[in-house]
Structures are given as structure tokens and as C-alpha cells.
Structure 1
Amino acid sequence: MNSDTLNKYAPQALAVLRIATALTFMAHGTQKLFGFPASQMPGGVELLSLFGLAGILEVFGGLAILLGLFTRPVAFILAAEMAYAFWAMHVPMGGSIIPVSNGGDAAVLFCFVFLYLVFSGPGAWALDHMLGARRKTVAA
């Protein structure tokens, strides 16, 4: 297959990456807030705590990413959250900056996928496109 054929599907591939990332990310938030899916961390954390804020960002930020809604600014916030989680939570717990040693693999991957979305945009199937078209219509 030549690269022109593959390039034609880049917006859809980016959307699949965005959607899969969002669904996985949201599961981390629902674990924190509701204890679902089951994990070793008890759910129902206090909302006005760092874990509560993280859970809220993960559920609602993840939902925005899933829908492709305000993708770039939301992805920027979530990338920052994951960078903070890595340096403030995983590095001190594991005593190492190596993600596989401190359990921070997911935080690093989420951080860089979200950072990529800041620069790439949402790809196909995103509400951002409908909002952009609507703004153009209103401005005309």
C-alpha cells in the first residue's frame, strides 16, 4: 500500500485514537469517583481533593475528548494533569523517573497522546467540526 492511500484515512485513524484514548481515560475517572470498574483503589473519593479533581477531569474531560468537543484546550488541560500525576504521584511512589518502574506508564502515554491532540486537532467525527461550520455560517 502506498502512503497516499494510507494518508487518505489519517483523519479517521486520528479519531479512532482520540475515541479509544478517551474511553480508557474515562475509566480511570469512574474508578476514582464511583469505584467502577473495580480496582484496588476504593471509589467515592472526596470531590474536593486532588483525587476528586483528577476524577472529575478524567470523566468530563474524557467525555469532551470522546465527543471531539473543545478538543485542543481540553487536551492541553488533560496533558498537564497527566504530567502532574507522573511527577507528583508516580515518581515519588516508585522512587524512579522510569515509567515502567514507578507505575506511570499510562500517565506518560496519556500525556503525550493529549499533547498530540493539542497540535493535531480531533480528526474526523468531532463536534468541533460542527461548531466550526456553525460559527462560519453565523459570521457570514
Structure 2
Amino acid sequence: MKPLDLERVRPVVIGLFRMVVGMLFACHGVATLFGVLGGPEGGGPGPAAFAWPGWWASAIELVGGVLVVLGLGTRIAALACSGSMAYAYFDVHQRNALLPIQNHGEPAAMFCWAFLLIAVLGAGAFSLEGLLGRFTSGTRPIAGLPQEKGAGEPVPVSADN
């Protein structure tokens, strides 16, 4: 039995990570904006439309989360999501106590770092960016060649090949 080649599954794992994190984040936005899925955190009504920062944070959670799930504008959306969670942690949670375990800021800290990782690593597999890129770039990898540095570079698609 051959050992698992982790580099081969890396894009798949990144893509699955991106989709799970984005979906969980989008659920927070839906819950807060529309009062479903358990409603806003802490109970009570959601923020008034366009109220700072609650409504805007929820809008970023919903829109950014959906974009990350779809893998569309992934790096920019993930960076916006990461920034909103950094703001939430330092403005909302840290004023109550220093450590996340004390100030209940673990979700904000975890989402912040998870989205920063997505912004750095990119969309991975199963993204609309990758799918659209295949159809719009006019290039494809050379079949059968290893995808190493310099090998398997995209070649123009034509009727000849």
C-alpha cells in the first residue's frame, strides 16, 4: 500500500476547509439579519438596518461567507471577513477581558485566523474561480505531464492539440 501523498490532496482539503468555514460564517449572518437558525447571538432582536457595527458585521458575515463558500473573489472576501472578526474581537470582546476564554471571543479569533489562512492559501479545489478560469483563460495543462515547476505549463487551446 502506498502512503498518502498529502500534496495531492492539499487543494481538496483547502477547498473543503474554505467551504465549511464560509458556510458557518454565513449562518451567523443569516441568523442575525433574519432571526432564523436560533436568531442573533445572545437572543433579542437583530440590529436595525444599516446600524453600525452590528448590521454591517452581519452583512459581511452573510455576503463574505457566501462568496467564500462559492470560491468567488475568495481572497478579497476572506480578507474582509478576517478584518471584520479582528475588529469584533478587539472592539467588542477584548474590552471585557484580555484572553478569548475570558471574554467569549474565541469564535471571533478563530474566524479571524481561519479567514486569514484562506486569504493566503486561496480557494483550493471546488471553486467558481477555478471553474470560470478554465473556461475563460483559453489554456489547459498538458495532459500526462507532472505538474512541477516548469512542467505542465498551460498551453494555448487550439484545434491542433
> Which deviations, in whole Å up to 9, do the C-alpha atoms of 1:78-101 show, x marking residues without a partner?
111000000001111x2x221111
Deviation at residue 16 of structure 1 after TM alignment = 1.2
In structure 2, the partner of 1:41 is 43
Q: Offset of 1:43 from its aligned partner?
A: 4.1
Residue of structure 2 equivalent to 1:128: 129
Report what 1:119 is aligned to: 120
Question: Partner of 2:109 in structure 1?
Answer: 108
Give the structure 2 partner of residue 84 of structure 1.
Answer: 87
Determine the C-alpha separation between the residues in 1 that align with 2:14 and 2:136. 23
What's the CA shift for 1:73? 0.6
Q: Which one has the largest radius of gyration?
A: 2
Could you list the runs of 5+ residues in structure 2 that have no partner in the other structure?
A: 140-155, 157-161
What does residue range 51-66 of structure 1 map to in structure 2 within 5 Å? 51-66=54-69
CA displacement at 1:26 relative to structure 2: 1.0
Residue by residue over 1:45-89, the C-alpha shift from the partner in whole angstroms, topping out at 9 and shown as x without a partner, is 212111111111111110000000000011111111000000001
More helix by share: 1
1:137 offset after TM fit, Å? 2.7
Q: Which amino acid aligns with 2:94?
A: V
Gaps of 5+ in 1: none
Q: Which of 74, 78, 98 matches 1:75?
A: 78
Contact 1:32 1:42 in 2 (8 A): no
CA–CA distance in 1 between the matches of 2:102 and 2:114? Answer: 21
The runs of 4+ residues in structure 1 deviating greater than 4 Å are none
What amino acid is the match of 1:110? F
SS of 2:18 mapped into structure 1:
helix
Partner SS for 2:47: coil
Shift in CA distance, 63/43, structure 1 to aligned 2, threshold 3 Å: farther
Which residue does the alignment assign to 2:7?
Answer: 7
Q: Is 2:7 the partner of 1:16?
A: no
Across the aligned residues of Structure 1 and Structure 2, the Cα RMSD in angstroms comes to 1.9
Aligned partners of 2:10 and 2:64: how far apart in 1? 23
Q: Residue type matched to 1:118 in 2?
A: A
State the identity as a percent.
Answer: 29
